[in-house]
Amino acid sequence: QVQLVESGGGLVQPGGSLRLSCTASGGTLNYYVIGWFRQAPGKEREGVACISSDPYYADSVKGRFTISRDFEENAVYLQMNNLKPDDTSVYYCASTPVRCRWSASEYDYWGQGIQVTISS
């Protein structure tokens, strides 16, 4: 089975930037649609961005986040700029064989999540 691992999280001040990486072992991500989700305490898991042949973004992150993929590195990235306190969450990458969707239930493989904290 494909195993996904997130990296690049941490603590950053409001207005700062982070780049998250999603890498795969045991298989390739090339045949899958990859989405980024986040879940904060007391909130439902929400879709942030997704990439198939084109990128898609939640309204809350449009203009600030950029999703991309590198086939040679077998990785998907999420560049996060102008971060806000509301972006604080655990971020997950996930894969689906179908197409970009905003429902977490449509995704089959998940990373364990990585903490992103925006605080001054």
> Which tokens go with 32?
């899958």
Average pLDDT, the chain: 94
Mean predicted confidence (pLDDT) in 18-35 = 89
What pLDDT, on the 0 to 100 scale, is given for residue 78? Answer: 98
Length of the chain: 120
Q: What is the pLDDT of residues 47-77, one digit of tens each?
A: 999 999 899 999 999 999 999 999 889 999 9
What pLDDT, on the 0 to 100 scale, is given for residue 53? Answer: 86
Torsion of the alpha carbons at 9, 10, 11 and 17, rounded to the nearest 10: -40
Q: What is the pLDDT of residues 80-114, one digit of tens each?
A: 999 999 999 999 999 998 899 999 999 999 999 99
